[in-house]
Amino acid sequence: MDATTAETSLQWVPRRQHSWLGRLFDSKPFLVTLCMLPTAGLLLIFLTYPLGLGLWLSLTDTTIGQPGVYIGLENFESLFDDPVFWNAVWYTVFYTAIATAGKFLLGLWLALLLNHHLPFKAFIRAIVLLPWIVPTVLSSIAWWWIYDPQFSIISYVVVNVLHLRDHYFDFLGSPWPARWSLIVANIWRGIPFVAITLLAGLQTISPSLYEAALLDGATGWQKFRRITVPLLMPILSVALTLSVLFTFSDFQLVYAITRGGPFNSTHLMATLAFQRAIPGSQLGEGAAIAVSMIPFLLVATLVCFFGVGRRKWQQGSDND
Amino acid sequence: MSISRRDTLALASASVAAASIPMIGARAAVADVPIANVKPLEYKLEKGAELRVLRPAKFIDPDEVFWRENSKKYTEATGVPVRVDFLSWEDIRPQTAVVANTGAGPDIVIGFSSDPQIYATKIADMTDLADYLGAKYGGWQELAVLYGTKWKTKEWISIPIGGGTGPVVYRQSWVKEAGYDKIPDDHAGFLTLCQKLQQIGHPCGFSLGHALGDANGFAQWLLWSHNAMLVDEKGHVALDSKETIAALKYATELQKTMVSGTLSWNDSGNNKAYAAGDIGLTFNGVSIYYVLKSSPDPKLNQIAVDTQHQALPKGLAARSPMSATPMNAMVFKHTKYPNAAKDYLRFMMEADQYGPWLSNCIGYWSNSLKAYSQMKFWSEDPKLIPYASGMDTPYYDGFKGPVTPASSAVTANYTVVDMFASVVTGNATPEQAAKRAAQQAERYYKTS
C-alpha cells in the first residue's frame, strides 16, 4: 500500500476490540491500585520495615556482632528496674513539656509582633527563621561553646566585661543547670517554626473581624481572646502536634552538648537508646528503649489533636 | 603568659582542622631498631589479589600520611593494589559488625579493643604472623598479647598495631612553683600537689563528664590505683568493694582541687583548657603536646616547651595503672586473598615501614612490638618517654576479667565514670554509687 491512499481514504474504521491488557487498564480500581503502589512500596520499605524490625529487635537479645534470639519482654522487664531508663523517661517528658510551652509562648508573641506593619518586614521574617534553618548540629556546637565552662561568651561578658560575678558559670556541670540549659537551647531552636506557622495562621484571619470588634468597643485582650485565639486553633493544634513530636524525639542537641552527662541526668530516651544500642552494642536493649517512646508519642499526638483542636474543621465542616 | 579567649577559639578550630599542619621530625632512621635474625616469612600471594583495608581515622596528620605511603610502597613491591579507607572512630565498631555479619566488604579491618574477641569465629588465625613478628622484633608488649590472642591461649586472632595512651601532662614550671620536681607516685602526694597547684592558681582538671576516652581513662586510674576493679579474674562483677569506696572518697578530695566545669568536659575539654593556660595538669594522649608544638603560634610553642609527661601515679598498684586504646588488625575469613592480607600486615609491621610511621606520630600511637621502644626519637625528645611504654601494661578495659564485649559496653555506657561523677558532686554516697554501678555493670556481664 502506498502512502497517498492512506492519507486520502476517509474510510470509517470500526473501533478495534481492546485486548485484555487494555481492558485491565480501563478498570478504575486497577488503576487506583497501580498508582498507589509506588507510595505504598516506599512506605512499606522505609517505614513499616524499619519499624517492624525495631519492634522485633526489642524482643531479642541481639548485640552488635551476634544475631540474637527471641527473649520475649525481657528487655522491657530489665529496663523497668533500670533507674537510668526511668530518669531518661522523666527528663524526656519534662523537657518536652517545658520546651514546648516555652516555644509556644515566645513563638506566639513573636508572631503577633511580626503581624504588625514593620519596616523591612520580609527581611525580619527571614532572619527570624534562621535558627530553624541552620543545621541543628551546627547550632548545637554553637550552644556548646556558649555553655563551655572555660570559654563561654556569657560568662566572659558577665565576669570580664560587666564584672557582675567573680567566677564563670558552670552551665553543664551539675544536673539541674544542665537540664535547663538544654531546654533553653531547644526553645531557641524551636521558636521560628512556631512563630512562622502561627504568623501564617494570623494572616488568614480577616481584618474585618477586628474592625467589627473595634466598633463594638472591644479591648485588645478581648480581641485576642475572642477572635485571634479561636481562629488560630486549627493551625495551633497542627503546629503543637509537630512541635511535641520534634521535641520528644530530639537527639542532636543533647548528644552534641552533653551526651547525656553529667551522670545521665540529661539523657533523653532517644540519646539513651542510641548510647545503649550503637556504642554500647546492645541492639536489643536500645531498640526496646526506642519502642518505649511509641506510646508516649501516640498519647501526645492524640492529646494535641483531639484536646486542642476539638473543632469541626477536622471533619471538614465549618465552625458553629 | 596570657592567652585571650579568642586565641583559644582559634586554637580549638585549628586543632579540629589540623590538616594543614606540616610534618614534624625528620624521617627516623630505622637502624636503631634491634632486629633478630629470623627466617623470613613468605606468603604465596594469590593471583590477581587486591586488598581493601578499613582503619580508624587519624587524629594527627602523619598517622594517615605515612600509612598511605607505606601502603603505596606495598603495591609497588608486590603489585597488589591496596585501598585504605579511614573511618571516624565512632563508626569503626558498627562497620566492623556489618562486615562480620554480612561476610562481605573489606579484607582487613583495623578495629578497637575487644573486637577480635567478639568476632573470633569470623576472623583468620594470625598465629604464624604474630609469632614471626614477635620473634623478629623482641616480642609483643603485654597489652598487645592481651588483646591480640584468644583469652588465655597462645592463639593469635589479630595483629595489634599500636595503642593510644594517656599519661600525666603537666606544666613543668607550675609544678616546680608548687614545690615539686616531678609528679609524686603516691595518692597523698599527688593530692597535695593538686592542692598546691590550686593555691597558686593553676589547678588540675580531669573530666568526669561523658567524655569517652578522657573520663574513662581517669575513672580507671582511680579504680586501679586503689587496687579496685570492675570484674574479677572469672568475669564476676567486683565493683562493689572497699577498694572502690576508697577510690570514690579519694576522687571527692581530688575534685575539690580542680578547675570548675570538669563534669561537662567532653574529650576536647582538657585540651582546650590546657592550651588556654587554665589548667596546669591533666591526663591525656600526646595530642595536646603535638598541637602546641606544631602550632604556628609562638605563644603555644612556648607552652609545648614547658610541657612534660609522666606515667600515671602508681598509688597502691605495683605498676603504673595506665592502659591504652589498641588498634587491632583483623583478617576476615571471607577474604579471597588471605595470604595477601597477611603479607600486607607483615609488610606494614616491618621496621622499614613501621619505624617512620611510628616516629612521625611522635607517641600518638605506642608501639605493640617491644623492639620499637628502642627507636631514637623516643629519647631524643625526652618528653615522649612515657608513651614509649604505652602498651607495656597489664591494664585493659574490664581488668581483671576476660576480654569480652561486656567491658566495652560498660565503657560506652559510662557506668564507672557516672559512679565517680555522682559521688564527687555529692549526689550519692560512695556506698550507694558503688552498689548502683555494680548493678548496672551486672546487666552487661550477665548477657555475654
Which ipTM did the prediction report?
Answer: 0.80
The residues near B272 (Cβ < 8 Å, ≥ 6 apart) are A148, A150, A151, B8, B11, B12
The whole-number pLDDT of residue A234 equals 83
Q: Which residue has the cell 473581624?
A: A209
| A65–B118 CB contact, under 8 Å | yes
Task: State the Cα–Cα distance between residues B417 and B216, nearest whole angstrom.
Answer: 6
Q: Give the residue from chain A lying closest to B270, CA to CA.
A: A150
Report DSSP letters for B409-444, one per residue. Answer: HHHHTTHHHHHHHHHHTTSS-HHHHHHHHHHHHHHH
CB contact under 8 A, B259 and A150: yes
- Contact state of B261 with A61 under an 8 Å Cβ cutoff: no
For residue A266, the distance in angstroms to the closest alpha carbon of chain B comes to 11
Q: Which residues of B touch A65 (CB under 8 A)?
A: 96-97, 100-101, 118-119, 405
| Strand B324-331 with B281-283, pairing | unpaired
Cβ neighbours for A170, distance < 8 A, ≥ 6 positions apart: A149, A177, B260, B261, B263, B264
Q: How far is B245 from chain A (nearest CA, A)?
A: 18
Cell 627516623: give the residue.
B28
Cα separation, B93 vs A260, whole angstroms: 21
Tens digits of per-residue pLDDT, B36-84?
988 999 999 999 999 999 999 988 889 999 999 999 999 999 999 999 9
pLDDT tens, position by position, A135-161? 888 999 999 999 998 889 999 999 999
The CB density around residue B338, as the number of other CB atoms within 10 Å, is 18
Output the pLDDT for position A14.
Answer: 66
- B74 contact A CB<8A: no
Task: Write out the H or E segment, with its range, that includes residue B51.
Answer: strand B51-56
Q: Which domains does chain B have, with CATH numbers?
A: 34-165+326-379 (3.40.190.10), 167-321+413-447 (3.40.190.10)
* Best residue in B6, B263, B278, B330 for a mutation probing chain A (most A CBs within 10 Å): B263
What is the pLDDT at residue B443?
85
The domains found in chain A, sorted by start residue, are: 18-58 (no CATH), 83-315 (1.10.3720.10)
**B101 and A281 in contact by Cβ < 8 A?**
no
pLDDT tens string for chain B (448 positions)? 444 544 444 444 444 433 333 344 444 446 788 899 889 999 999 999 999 999 999 888 899 999 999 999 999 999 999 999 999 887 888 788 888 888 888 999 999 888 888 888 899 999 999 999 999 999 999 999 999 998 888 999 999 999 999 999 999 999 999 999 999 999 999 999 999 999 999 999 999 999 888 999 999 999 999 999 999 999 899 999 999 999 999 999 999 999 998 999 988 899 999 999 999 999 999 989 999 998 999 999 999 999 999 999 999 999 999 999 999 999 999 999 999 999 999 999 999 999 999 999 999 999 999 999 999 999 889 999 999 999 999 999 889 898 888 888 898 889 999 999 999 999 899 999 999 999 989 988 875 4
Task: Nearest by CB to B408, from A67, A156, A281: name it.
Answer: A281
For residue A68, the model assigns a pLDDT of 84
Q: What is the pTM of this model?
A: 0.84
CB contact under 8 A, B443 and A148: no
Identify the pLDDT of residue B23: 43
- Spatial neighbors of B58 by CB under 8 A, at least 6 apart, are B64, B67, B86
Q: What is the C-alpha R_g of chain A?
A: 28
Q: Which residues of B touch A149 (CB under 8 A)?
A: 259-262, 264-265, 269
Return the number of CB contacts < 8 Å for A and B: 127
For helices A175-203 and A136-146, the axis angle rounded to 10 degrees is 130
**Distance between CA A298 and CA A84 in Å, rounded?**
23
